[in-house]
Amino acid sequence: MRLQGKVVVVTGGASGIGRAMCAAFASEGARVAVADRDEDKGRAVADELGAIYVRTDVTSSASANAMAEEVHSRFGRIDVLANNVGVRVVKPFLDHTDADWDVMIATNLTGPFLCSRAVVPFMQRVGAGRIINTASIASFVGRPNRVAYVAAKAGLLGMTRAMAIDLGGSGITVNALAPGSINSPMNSAHAADEEHDWGKETPVGRWGRAEDVANAAIFLALDESSYITGAEIKVDGGWVSTKARAGEIAA
């Protein structure tokens, strides 16, 4: 158990990639806090894994602060924050409403900022910490009918790099994971249409699993990754690399 005794917070931990992260961290001996708005699912995951559930609305500064305070009061420390919660709107550019834009930015970009700001002081007290942001291959390439989502995820990648600079002196690393086409609840509505376009277009020839992303998160939480910060790991089966080779990403 490589994370024995570590305290890990996973936002959006009630389902999909977040749930897989919670399970992976728990299997490595970590004490896990499932931070999610969905109380029923969040408590179910926490009960299954021997974790705790903390109701969290990442778009609210007060909720993010309360989450950090509760986790710290329960465990006495916070070692890892996985900013995983995310939402997506899929519709043509001109059909995006103000509300669509606001919820994409609030959840996918402001949320990680608020949760990180709430947790960092507790990491600074012990001179160490790991922040892992779930970005997307949309951080690197445009995707059709996802303008607000792409903007938020690209912003998250920039924020990851800037945070790494600001927090490195406190012993805190900040990195991002960029999942590709992953079989998860958020993708399920589009999986049937995109299986050929995305999953089979990867060099490995399949859709990714939530556990693939969770395993990468484990690596970034380990002491062995302490010299890695401001970086991004693409968990996409090589999809972005194939597009770069084909000249579909501008240099």
Asked if residue 251 has pLDDT above 50, the reply is no
Backbone φ/ψ region at 171: left (φ over 0), alpha (ψ -120 to 50), beta: left
Q: What is the mean pLDDT of residues 181-192?
A: 63
> Two tokens at 183?
């079989």
Say whether 184 sits in a helix, a strand or coil.
Answer: coil
Per-residue model confidence (pLDDT) at position 198: 66
Is residue 7 within 8 Å of 33, Cβ to Cβ?
yes
Per-residue model confidence (pLDDT) at position 148: 95
Please indicate, yes or no, if residue 195 is contained in any of the structural domains: no
Is residue 148 within 8 Å of 245, Cβ to Cβ?
no
Asked if residue 196 has pLDDT above 60, the reply is no
- Looking at the structure of the chain, the number of domains it has is 1
Q: What share of the chain in percent tops pLDDT 70?
A: 90
With cut-offs at 50, 70 and 90, classify the pLDDT of residue 245.
Answer: low
CATH of the domain at 124: 3.40.50.720
Per-residue model confidence (pLDDT) at position 191: 53
Please indicate, yes or no, if residue 202 is contained in any of the structural domains: no
Report d(CA 245, CA 11) in Å as an integer.
34
Please indicate, yes or no, if residue 16 is contained in any of the structural domains: yes
With cut-offs at 50, 70 and 90, classify the pLDDT of residue 221.
Answer: very high
Report d(CA 103, CA 98) in Å as an integer.
9
Please indicate, yes or no, if residue 198 is contained in any of the structural domains: no
Please indicate, yes or no, if residue 246 is contained in any of the structural domains: no
DSSP state of 101: H
Per-residue model confidence (pLDDT) at position 98: 98
Instruction: Residue 217: give the domain boundaries.
Output: 7-180+209-235
Please indicate, yes or no, if residue 185 is contained in any of the structural domains: no
Per-residue model confidence (pLDDT) at position 187: 57
Per-residue model confidence (pLDDT) at position 185: 63
Q: Is 22 exposed, middle or buried (0-12, 13-18, 19+ CB in 10 A)?
A: buried
Provide the Cα torsion 228, 214, 82, 56; round to 10°: 180
Say whether 33 sits in a helix, a strand or coil.
Answer: strand
Per-residue model confidence (pLDDT) at position 140: 85
Please indicate, yes or no, if residue 14 is contained in any of the structural domains: yes
Q: What is the pLDDT of residues 114-154, one digit of tens each?
A: 999 999 999 999 999 999 999 999 888 887 889 999 999 99
Q: What is the pLDDT of residues 20-64, one digit of tens each?
A: 999 999 999 999 999 999 999 999 999 999 999 999 999 999 999
Catalytic residue among 53, 75, 113, 149: 149
Per-residue model confidence (pLDDT) at position 250: 44
Per-residue model confidence (pLDDT) at position 184: 64
Q: What is the mean pLDDT of residues 229-246?
A: 83
Q: Clarify whether 53 is annotated catalytic.
A: no
Per-residue model confidence (pLDDT) at position 190: 52
Tell me the pLDDT of the chain averaged across its residues: 92
Please indicate, yes or no, if residue 197 is contained in any of the structural domains: no
Asked if residue 247 has pLDDT above 60, the reply is no
Per-residue model confidence (pLDDT) at position 188: 54
Which of 34-43, 88-97, 181-190: highest mean pLDDT? 34-43
Report d(CA 168, CA 155) in Å as an integer.
20
